[in-house]
Every structure is written in structure tokens, then in C-alpha cells.
Structure 1
């Protein structure tokens, strides 16, 4: 089985400038994703998909490959992760005559990704014959009790009013994607053009093991969580 790790790292970032290579506890944040992929020993190819020469240079220094730069079409604000991955797979096939059985899309701003977690997800995908596997976590509060708030009147209503009188212990657990990585069988990705398929599984993480990073507050919280885990 041939496996490729694809780390998307676009140059443009509006909310946090240079987000993908910003210093995170002493290292460019992309360093952690690259080193986790290399350290897992699972990949024939660890590559970074970027449109930015500085990101490409740092990625190569850490040990990743950047065999080609991302196109303008997959570098704008409207390109999806699926668009980026398809371009990578197509370029490997047309330019380098290389094809892969499995891919792992690892996000550049996911410093909590570890070689062990990549292995656990990969083993689960093979054991259960899933098309894809990714980390997810339980919501800390039942989402069936979610509220709508009218922006003009500030009045509140239930999103799911049928759960108004249901005891919290009787409400089923709900999960959310942790935004770290996705293992996907290439034929499954080609079939569904997505990382989440009708035959996907998860490895469960607790709230200290991940952090979505979109704001300065998120960044600080991620550093605190990372130090806590160490």
C-alpha cells in the first residue's frame, strides 16, 4: 500500500497573518504536522501543498517535499480542501507518474497531531475497512438543546423544540470534527470527492487534545493545551 501525507498550507491568511508558519512554542506551526507524518513511518511521500515560496522553503527544511506549487485556482478563498487534494493527486500522476492507495490530509495548524494518533487512525481504517477515519470529539453539552437567538429582537427559541423536556442524560451524544487530519482511501476520495464519506469512522479525542485555531485567543489557548499535554 502506498500512502501520501498531504499538508495544505496556503500563503494567504486574513485573521492570523502567516498562520501556517507562525511561531508556535519555538517552531513554525507547520513543523509539528510534518514531523508527525515523518515520525509515523507510514508514508511513502510527505508533501506540502502551497502557493507560497516561504512556506515551501520552511517545509523543505523540516523534511517535507514540495514538488510543485499550488495553482492560483486552488489558492483563492473559494477553493475547497477536496479541490486541493484532487490537484495534488492529479499532479503526482501526470507529472511524476506516481499514484497512491491512501492519503492523509494533515492540517498545517494542527500541532496536536502525533505519530501515534496517525497510526491509530490508519489501523482503524484498515481493521474496519472504512473509506476514511478522522479524529472527533463529543460536544460537552447536548447540542439538541441548542438555541436560536433572533438578531433583531433578542428573543430565544429552541433549534429542536422536541427536546425541550428531555432529560440531558437521555439525549444521545453528538460529535464534531477536531480539524486535525483525515485518512482516506484514494478510490473513496475519487468516488465521493470528499474526505467524509458514507463509510467513515472516528478516533475519539478529549477537549485537551485539539484546538481549532482561527483567532489570537485560539492560538494562546492552543499553546496552553499543548504545554498541558506535554
Structure 2
């Protein structure tokens, strides 16, 4: 079964200008996603979907393919990840190239490694999931979360206010790094998560949302810590 890696990287990032090719510990951050995908040995093709000439050049420098540019409709702030995946796989199909499995890796995912990709794909394949993505456990039980209104605290789930943390179920959130999907799911063009979507747990150290400059610094610190303890 042929496998395609798609790395979405449009040029219009606003909160962190030129985010997808900003230097992250010595090289453009997109390079980490490209290198992890290539070194995993899993993919028949690793491509970057972009609307930006400079991003395209950086992507090709690090070994990715940029066979076509993203359409204007999917290069705005409102296009979803699924919109991009549908467009890319349709373009490949038009030239006679089809894939059974697609992995979308975000351009700002320096914690993704070849081992994580290989191990997560093994779970995806063995369990025959429609899709699979990495998740991180919340550090505190969300069942005991609170809200603040007019400086007053109240429990979102008052029935859990006096329960011990160890008596509450773990909760997780999407790590926002990559998504394995069957091509059939993309053909439907709707959602990534179905009633047959799998999870691949990673640690809090192995993930970091990067939405602002503080996030960026935290990500660099985490990355350097991981490298120091390998």
C-alpha cells in the first residue's frame, strides 16, 4: 500500500511571521518534519503543500517534493487541514498517482521523530483504524476544572469537587503534530476523527503548541532537554 506524507505550510502566518521556515535551533523548523518523514522509510513520497516560493525552496533543500502549489482557496485563514488533504490527493490522482494511506505532518512539529512515526504507524495498521494521531495526557484532572466569572470561582463539574485525583479518569488532548489517515477517509472530505480513530500517547515533554514567541522558546527548551537525555 503506497503511502504519502503531506506537510502543509502556507506562507501567511500572522502570530509568528514566516513561522514555517523560522530558524529553530539551527535550521528552519519545517526541516524537522521533512527529515523525520524521510528517515522513517515509511513513505513513497514526502511533499510540502504551500503557496509560497521561499517555503517551497526550503522544502526542496531538505529533500521534500513540491510538485504543485496550493490553490488560493486553500491558502487563506479559513481553509482546514482536510481541505488541503483533499486538494493534494486529488491533484496526485489527476496525474495517475494514488495512495492508500496519507500522513499529514504539521510544519511546526520538531518533536516528531522517525521512531514516533514508525511506532504510531504500526498501531494504525495493526488496529485497522480509519485515522490515528498523537495525544498528550492533561497534567491535572479536567473533571475538577473551574471557571472564573466576575472574579468568583465555581466548579465546572461540582460533583467531582471532593473526589481524589486518582479516582478520576485520565483525559487527553490532541498533540497537534501529525495524523495518519486512510485515503478513503480523505475521499469523504469531512472529518479526521471517526468512531474508529486511534490514539498514540506521547509525553508532555514530546509536544508543545507553538502559537507565539513564548511557545517557541518553550519548544526549543524542551527539544534541547530531550536531546540531552537521549
- TM-score, normalisation: structure 1: 0.96
Aligned to 2:133: 134
Distance 1:85 1:154 in 2: 44
Alignment deviations for residues 170-211 of structure 1 (CA, whole Å, 9 cap, x no partner): 110000111111111111233362222211111111111111
Q: Verify the 8 A CA contact 1:132 1:184 in the aligned structure 2.
A: yes
Task: Note the aligned Cα RMSD (angstroms).
Answer: 1.0
The number of residues matched between the two structures is 227
Separation (CA, whole Å) in 2 of partners of 1:23 and 1:42: 26
Counterpart mapping for 1:80-229 below 5 A: 80-94=80-94, 96-150=95-149, 153-191=150-188, 193-229=190-226
| Aligned mates of 2:186, 2:204 — CA distance in 1 | 28
Contact 2:5 2:103 in 1 (8 A): yes
1:51-66 correspondence to structure 2 within 5 Å = 51-66=51-66
2:181 match: secondary structure: strand
Q: Distance in 2 between matches of 1:98 and 1:161?
A: 54
Deviations 1:51-73 (A, max 9, x none): 10100010011110111111111
Query: Which structure 2 residues correspond to residues 11-90 of structure 1 after superposition, within 5 A?
Result: 11-90=11-90
- C-alpha distance in 2 between matches for 1:198 and 1:89: 23
SS in structure 2 of the partner of residue 219 of structure 1: helix
Structure 1 CA distance for aligned equivalents of residues 162 and 5 of structure 2: 47
C-alpha distance in 1, partners of 2:14/2:204?
A: 26
Partner SS state of residue 97, structure 1: coil
Structure 2 CA distance, aligned partners of 1:172 and 1:192? 33
Contact 1:147 1:159 in 2 (8 A): yes
**1:154 to partner: Cα distance:** 1.9
Q: Which runs of 5+ in 1 are unaligned?
A: none
Answer whether contact 1:188 1:197 (CA < 8 A) is retained.
no
Distance 1:39 1:108 in 2: 16
Q: TM-score scaled by structure 2?
A: 0.96
Q: Distance in 2 between matches of 1:198 and 1:27?
A: 39
CA distance in 1, matches of 2:161, 2:214: 33
